[in-house]
């Protein structure tokens, strides 16, 4: 996977979660939706990135066949290897969304 900062992110939505102390970051790349969960609002740490695909397709990052959500809600192994960089990218690009 290339540097996460250079990816063509679209439709980024960062939400505070009420179900636990953290954030849900939804983003789209090449018409595929991903969900990034981050724990702890005061000192955020990355948890995982899940595929949330509408149709069966192959993830261009991890090359896995992903079935439509909810059956295909699987962790993206390529993004898992980049979690700290991915969190840093979103904190740098959207600092106002991370104010605890």
pLDDT at 44: 94
| Domain total in the chain | 1
pLDDT digits (tens, 9 = 90+) for 55-65: 999 999 999 99
pLDDT at 49: 97
To 10 degrees, the CA torsion angle through 70, 39, 95, 92? -80
Extended strands (E) in 1-80: 10-17, 22-29, 32-39, 45-51, 57-58, 65-66
Report the share of the chain in percent with pLDDT over 70: 97
Burial class (CB in 10 A: 0-12, 13-18, 19+), 99: exposed
């Amino acid at each position: 996977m290339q540097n996460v900062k250079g990816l063509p992110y679209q439709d980024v939505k960062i939400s505070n979660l009420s179900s636990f102390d953290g954030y849900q970051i939804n983003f789209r790349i090449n018409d595929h939706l991903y969900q990034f969960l981050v724990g702890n609002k005061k000192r955020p740490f990355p948890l995982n990135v899940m595929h949330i695909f509408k149709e069966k397709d192959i993830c261009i990052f991890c090359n896995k066949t992903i079935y439509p959500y909810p059956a295909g809600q699987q962790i993206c192994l390529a993004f898992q290897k980049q979690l700290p960089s991915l969190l840093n990218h979103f904190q740098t690009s959207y600092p106002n969304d991370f104010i605890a």
